[in-house]
Amino acid sequence: MPVITLPDGSLRQFDHAISVADVAASIGPGLAKAALAGKVDGVLVDTSALIDRDVKLSIVTDRDPEGLEVIRHSTAHLLANAVQELFPDAQVTIGPVIEDGFYYDFAYKRPFSTEDLAAIEQRMAEISAKDLKVHRRVLPRDEAVAHFKKIGEHYKAEIIAAIPSNEPISLYGQGDWEDLCRGPHVPSTGKLKAFKLMKVAGAYWRGDSRNEMLQRIYGTAWANEKQLKEYLTRLEEAEKRDHRRIGKELDLFHLQEEAPGAVFWHPKGWALFQQLIAYMRQRQNDAGYQEVNTPQVMDRELWVKSGHVETFGENMFMTQTPDERVFALKPMNCPGHIQVFKQGLRSYRELPLRFAEFGVVHRYEPSGALHGLMRVRAFTQDDAHIFCTAEQITEESVKVTELILSIYRDFGFDDVRIKFSDRPAKRVGSDEIWDKAEAALRNAAAAAGIETTLNPGEGAFYGPKLEFVLRDAIGRDWQCGTLQVDFNLPTRLGATYIGEDSHKHTPVMLHRAMFGSLERFTGILLEHHAGKLPVWLSPVQAVVMGITDRQDKYCLEVAENLRNQGLRVETDLRNETLKFKIREHTIKRVPFLLVAGDREVEGRTLAVRTRGGKDLGSLGLAELTALLCDEVASRGRLVLEDRVSQRRSA
């Protein structure tokens, strides 16, 4: 007689074993219809699963994150089913759920075409419309191997053969088709209504380049057509905002094969990059940081002592010199900062000591993972390390958190989520040290008044961390800043200070980055603002242009005047029509287009037009200069366009 506890605390008692589906039906017909799976004592199960003991149960619907995962998992099977109906010779391999969708790898004699994808998607819709019941059966491992070999599914047989012999194998299917899977799955194919196949790509069997190449079909699946449409719209918008496209249109940077994963910055892009550094340098100076610079190449032995070679070695670039010394390009700045700290005798009176560096680091990323500015091998970190006592951890962490959130607001990011990443499997230091570090970081987060979600096992190899995740204008999340508590590296590299008791003590080191990678943050900014950067960040803030060559002298005078005020201004004196010039600089997202005709020259004014196409009328040169300088100095809090509009409406 199982007693079932529901999420609201209510109890339901039955005099026999009962399925999850029947429990849902006993609650109400609406829930029975919406049920996709169940969660029994925290474990996700099919709606057909029988309950014969006292348990806690929640019914999973498409409103739950787990429900969407079940939909995507089941849609991957729907894809495999459709492929094998249309292409009987195709062999299925693996088909996991991924972010926003799923994929399935197939072995087939020829590449799948765009037309094939359309036909497969159509067949998936037909199978869905049949509302076939999804069934499950369990076989002993060896029997399952024999079954898949018999039907020519050699890849599946190989997967199953690697599973321990005493582990039962579950197969899920619909109609006459079935496949290896742990489940759970939706009750019937009719639950799968909102999906789309996205693309085909190559993938090596089991991810090993020595194995045969398979075809990977990617798809997306959602709870309903509205969510699917919203997702596809986000993808279209993301394509328009692609920082690589914007970078080319604005002539900011390029990448080329001779330096994979490294950026060639053009003058305008470098101006933007330097603006980010200047901004961060000022904020750090105001917060009591001292800027340092450490070597990019250091002896391998230093990285052995720090633990980087053991835990991070496969991501490091190393080289051997003619005298057989091995050196490494630094992948992180922390060991270098510890060397600076160790020079001379440090006192507790100096703590907290905050070292900051715009350090260029190098990390090996696989070629296939490189992606514009977002994933590179050489990048600049706005890195800092705070050496402090254990008693100072909370106060310093609160200051870092407040600084990071303030900085993100300046760049237009108000929606920030924070993750708590605890100890990874591959790490240095004892469990006792990790317990201490994690407790210190949790206390600091609580003192800062921030809510965190757990990101298990994703801490740095030397300490737990807070990860600051920005949500951009189209709803995508980007992990940027970090704060890490480290009791390990200062000990491993021999950092000490003289305490109040006149004895040596090991400092705690807080690792802190705010942009993270300046290259990546630049890419995020370009996509968040769709290339229309705030005026204070724009590489070119205004372009001065005349209608004819009679205004050239005045245009040059205006540009010089504005540059003398620290503004980034260009002139366009080409023998082109005004319409042509305006269109070109609008495409380049220049915030303000300043036009001079004979009337403007005579009145010492300028006709002001925004990149959004708004005509602000004529402004005197002195007034315009003051308004532009105010907007730049306020970092967009005093917007010239708004102030002109308000003045005229008044």
Q: Structure tokens of 314?
A: 């496969």
Q: 29 exposed, middle or buried (CB, 10 Å; 0-12, 13-18, 19+)?
A: exposed
Q: Is 135 a catalytic residue?
A: no
- Using CA atoms, how far apart are residues 253 and 261, in angstroms rounded to an integer? 13
Q: Is 385 a catalytic residue?
A: yes
Characterize the bridge pairing of strands 91-92 and 101-107: antiparallel
Catalytic residue among 77, 185, 377, 465: 465
Q: Is 334 a catalytic residue?
A: yes
DSSP character at residue 38 = E
User: Which amino acid, residue 262?
Assistant: A
DSSP character at residue 192 = -
Q: Which residue has the tokens 């709870």?
A: 223
Catalytic residue among 511, 528, 589, 609: 511
Task: Centre a 10 Å sphere on the Cβ of residue 580 and count the other Cβ atoms it contains.
Answer: 11
Q: Structure tokens of 382?
A: 């706005």
Q: Are 541 and 566 in contact (CB under 8 A)?
A: no
- Using CA atoms, how far apart are residues 188 and 75, in angstroms rounded to an integer? 11
Q: Is 568 a catalytic residue?
A: no
User: Which amino acid, residue 284?
Assistant: Q
Q: Which residue has the tokens 């004196």?
A: 573
Largest CA distance in the chain: 97
∠524-530-536 over CA atoms, to 5°? 80
- Using CA atoms, how far apart are residues 497 and 508, in angstroms rounded to an integer? 11
DSSP character at residue 429 = S
- Using CA atoms, how far apart are residues 447 and 400, in angstroms rounded to an integer? 12
Q: Are 607 and 593 in contact (CB under 8 A)?
A: no
The SS3 of residue 622 is helix
Residue 126: partners with Cβ closer than 8 Å, 6 or more residues away: none
- Using CA atoms, how far apart are residues 102 and 355, in angstroms rounded to an integer? 44
Catalytic residue among 62, 216, 243, 334: 334
Catalytic residue among 46, 62, 105, 383: 383
- Using CA atoms, how far apart are residues 450 and 47, in angstroms rounded to an integer? 38
Burial profile 454-463: b = 16 or more Cβ within 10 angstroms, e = fewer? ebeebbbbbb
- Using CA atoms, how far apart are residues 78 and 176, in angstroms rounded to an integer? 13
Q: Is 381 a catalytic residue?
A: yes
Q: Would you name the residues annotated as active-site residues?
A: 334, 363, 381, 383, 385, 465, 511
